[in-house]
Amino acid sequence: MNSFTYSYPVKVYFGEKAAKNLAAELTNAGPNVMLAYGGGSIKKNGVYDELIGILKDAGKTVTEFTGIMSNPTYAKVQEGAVLAKENNIDFILAVGGGSVIDCCKIISAQAKLDKDIWELEYTDHKQPTEFIPMGAVVTAFGTGAEMNNGAVITNEEKILKSALWGAFYSFAILDPAYTMTMPMKQVISGAFDSLSHSMETYMGSPREVNLSDEINEATQRNIIRNIRATLKDPQDIQARSELIWAAAMAENGILKIGKATDFQCHMLEHQLGAYTDCNHGQGLAVLHPVLYRHMMPEANHQFARLATEVWGIDPAGKSEAELAEAFVDALIAFIREIGLPTTFAEMNISADTDFKAIADSTVLTGGCAKKFIRDELLEVLLECR
Ligand code: NZQ
Ligand code: ZN
């Protein structure tokens, strides 16, 4: 295991009626609050009314920032930062899924900066140091974005979907009841994203199993079991609760302790998103098995362990290579079972998409068992069509 320091800044309020803790948290916040959300699902399911009531009772002046889209754009970040500056915002309450939560992380930094944050991070290689404090209310789970300070932002001018580093949330409210109105497609693609985060962490280095990996195996088994339970009974709030916490677990640093992560699949999917604006979890579902076949034989040792410890495949009489194959077969069968796509065509991604440009702009990661070159990533993309 690598050396590490562990401490975590995000306080989590988990469970039904967790928003009752919001009033106490707001006593620490200044008077001007930005309430940020997406396209309006929170107005339909009552979450907006509940939160606005708490904000008003706390005597806050509320500025609303609405219309944060899936795969949030850099332009939307800038719009939010201008609004925050104009209204002297003291605190941001982000209400939504990964897109709203990510967008606000960067608004909180950009509003305190004169310089363009993309230039600061990617040209000057510096990170912001001042932020507007924030709280998150999770209404769509999967990304675990509420637990980390990385934001995935689409820069439409540069055709890049990249990580920017912002603030950590002071607190996150995870109430399973708030997620019950999520469309089932989003529930499944979100939960698959959590499984992907766990796998991408597991597949990093060192490659010999350690405590973080064993907790990770349990997290993966839990996600697989609870996706099945949720599909069987969408009203199963226990299964939903497990998935929400598993999503947070995959991104709260615990599974990453002592590891350098892989995340090559994510880097590829993010650029696919930059070019196609596709759903993140669905993109991962198509890419993962194809990319994993290209990671053989370098990754076989870890794949074989996933076969036995996560997917329950009997190792008797099987070589490491056969177990690795069995793992990828089980992953594909699961993706089909839960109704996720296995080709770009099923996602309506055109065969004419500029896959070469996607491969050429994808970040190559250091933790991946295979050191990819971009030509091979192009092969992966073409095989996904
Ligand atoms: O916009 P509204 O109307 O709220 O609708 C949203 C949106 O259409 C809807 N929704 C959310 N809560 C709902 C609901 N609908 C009904 N009832 C509710 N309770 O769900 C849709 C999708 O929301 P979105 O936030 O886009 O999804 P997700 O949570 O999957 O976030 C995706 C974004 O997160 C990034 C992705 O790349 C993508 O941009 N990621 C962020 C990560 C991070 N910061 O750690 C890690 C991930 O790997 C990922 O890259
Ligand atoms: Zn993800």
Residue 280 CA to ligand 2 center (angstroms) comes to 7
Terminal-residue alpha carbon distance, the chain: 38
Cα of 57 to ligand 1 centre, how many Å?
28
Low-confidence ranges of the chain (pLDDT < 50): none
Strand partners, 32: 61
- 11-179 and 184-383 share one fold: no
- Predicted confidence at residue 2, as pLDDT, reads 79
pLDDT of residue 5: 82
pLDDT at 1: 72
Give, for 115, the enclosing helix (H) or strand (E): none
pLDDT of residue 111: 98
Of ligand 1's listed atoms, the one at least distance from the Cα of 266 is 48
Q: What is the pTM of this model?
A: 0.98
Query: Does residue 102 have its Cβ closer than 6 Å to ligand 1?
Result: yes
Do 138 and 47 contact (CB within 8 A), yes or no? no
Query: What is the pLDDT, as a whole number, of residue 233?
Result: 98
234 cis-preceded (ω within 30 degrees of 0): no
Q: What is the pLDDT of residue 235?
A: 97
For 330-366, the pLDDT digits (tens) are 999 999 999 999 999 999 999 999 999 999 999 999 9
Distance separating alpha carbons of residues 280 and 269, to the nearest angstrom:
7
CA distances to 51, 258, 264, 295 from 207, rounded to whole Å, are: 45, 11, 16, 14
pLDDT for 6: 82
CATH homologous superfamily of 184-383 equals: Dehydroquinate synthase-like - alpha domain (1.20.1090.10)
Contact 288 CB / ligand 1 (< 6 Å): no
Residue 3 is predicted with a pLDDT of 81
Q: In whole angstroms, give the CA distance from residue 229 to residue 223.
A: 10
Task: Name which residue sits closest to atom 23 of ligand 1, judged by CA.
Answer: 97
What is the per-residue pLDDT for 363?
A: 98
The CA distance from 299 to 305, in Å, is 10
Beta-carbon-side half-sphere exposure of residue 16 (alpha carbons within 13 Å): 5
- How many A from CA of 279 to the centre of ligand 2? 10
Per-residue CA distances from 133 to 29, 140, 144, 283 (Å): 8, 21, 19, 32
If phi over 0 gives left and psi between -120 and 50 gives alpha, with beta otherwise, what is residue 161? beta
Domains in the chain: boundaries: 11-179, 184-383
Atom of ligand 1 nearest to the CA of 38: 1
263-316 pLDDT, tens digit each: 999 999 999 999 999 999 999 999 999 999 999 999 999 999 999 999 999 999
CATH 3.10.580.10 given to domain 11-179:
no
Closest ligand to C-alpha of residue 150 is 1
What separation in Å is there between the alpha carbon of 234 and the centre of ligand 1? 19
